[in-house]
Amino acid sequence: MSGVDNGVNVQALLDAREVLKGAPEAAQFVWRATSKWEKGVHSTTTIQKYFGLGQEQSHKTRAEFSADHPEVFAAEDNGITPIEYLLVGLASCLTAGVASVAQNRGIQLRSVSSTVEGSHDIRGILGADSDVRNGFNDIKVTFNIDADASKEDIQALVAQSQKRSAVFDALTNPTDVTVEVA
């Protein structure tokens, strides 16, 4: 296993796992985003602070994300559509998982790329057919991985990364969502 470096500090993660086993309160995180309407269907969402390990935390820098609709929806296309952000989340989460699991299993990665496709029947959001759901009908992720490992081991990497993925879980399992007006 020595010499394998995918740039993931697996030891720190394993140590954290041990510590948090005995301190479930510290494991409670709250991720936050604040969003502001710009004009039309264009909005800007900012992310910087979050809560975790028992206290307020902050990312090194503030990140801003523009969301809009494309011109085919008669909008200005100032940013990607909100549902595409889910693809960003899924792809980056699975990729991070592949790298971490590979590091933990002593597999050197040379390249990892993936394509994520979400099929979406927009009759749902347009209210054109009440039998069509608003969200994705399905999502397909295709990984291309070049690594020092057998095909079988690579498949196992990808399977394990799904098993431990926050976004995969959030997309495949229902979550309670409460929306209020302050």
Partner 1 sequence: MLERGEIANSWRHERWDSLRLLTPNWLNRLPGHSYQGPDPDGYLTMGEVVEFIEHFAVASAAPVRTGTNVESLRRDGDGYLVSTSRGDLRCRAVVLASGACNVPTVPAISAGVPTSVAQLTPFDYRGPDHVAEGGVLVVGASATGVQLAAELQRAGRQVILAAGEHVRMPRVYRGRDVLWWMDASGVWDQRYDEVDDLTRARRLPSPQLVGTPERSTLDLNALTGLGVELVGRLAAVRDGSALFSGGLRNVCSLADLKMRRLLAGFDEWARTTGRDAEVGPPEEFAPTTVAASTRLRLDLRGGDVGTIVWATGFRPDYRWLDVPVVDEKGRLRHEGGVLDSPGLYALGLPLLRRRRSTFISGVEDDARAVVDHLAKHLPASAG
Q: Which residues bind partner 1 (CB under 8 A)?
A: 137-138, 152, 155-156, 159-160, 162-163, 168-169, 171-174
Q: Which is nearer to partner 1, 58 or 178 (CB)?
A: 178
Nearest to 40 by CA among 1, 73, 16: 73
Q: Which is nearer to partner 1, 35 or 115 (CB)?
A: 115
Cβ atoms of 125 and 76 closer than 8 Å: no
Q: Kindly give the interhelix angle for 151-163 and 82-104, rounded to the nearest 10 degrees.
A: 120
Q: Which residues of 62-74 are buried (b: 16+ CB within 10 A; e: fewer)?
A: eeebebbbeeeee
Question: Secondary structure of the chain: what % helix, strand, coil (to 5)?
Answer: 35, 30, 35
Strands (E), 53-137: 55-67, 109-119
Q: Which is nearer to partner 1, 3 or 174 (CB)?
A: 174
Q: Cβ of residue 158: shortest distance to partner 1, in angstroms? A: 8
Q: Which is nearer to partner 1, 79 or 168 (CB)?
A: 168
Q: Cβ of residue 168: shortest distance to partner 1, in angstroms? A: 7
Q: Cβ of residue 152: shortest distance to partner 1, in angstroms? A: 7
User: Rounded to 10 degrees, what is the CA torsion of 167, 165, 25, 55?
Assistant: -60
Q: Cβ of residue 6: shortest distance to partner 1, in angstroms? A: 20
Q: Cβ of residue 167: shortest distance to partner 1, in angstroms? A: 12
Q: Which is nearer to partner 1, 67 or 98 (CB)?
A: 98
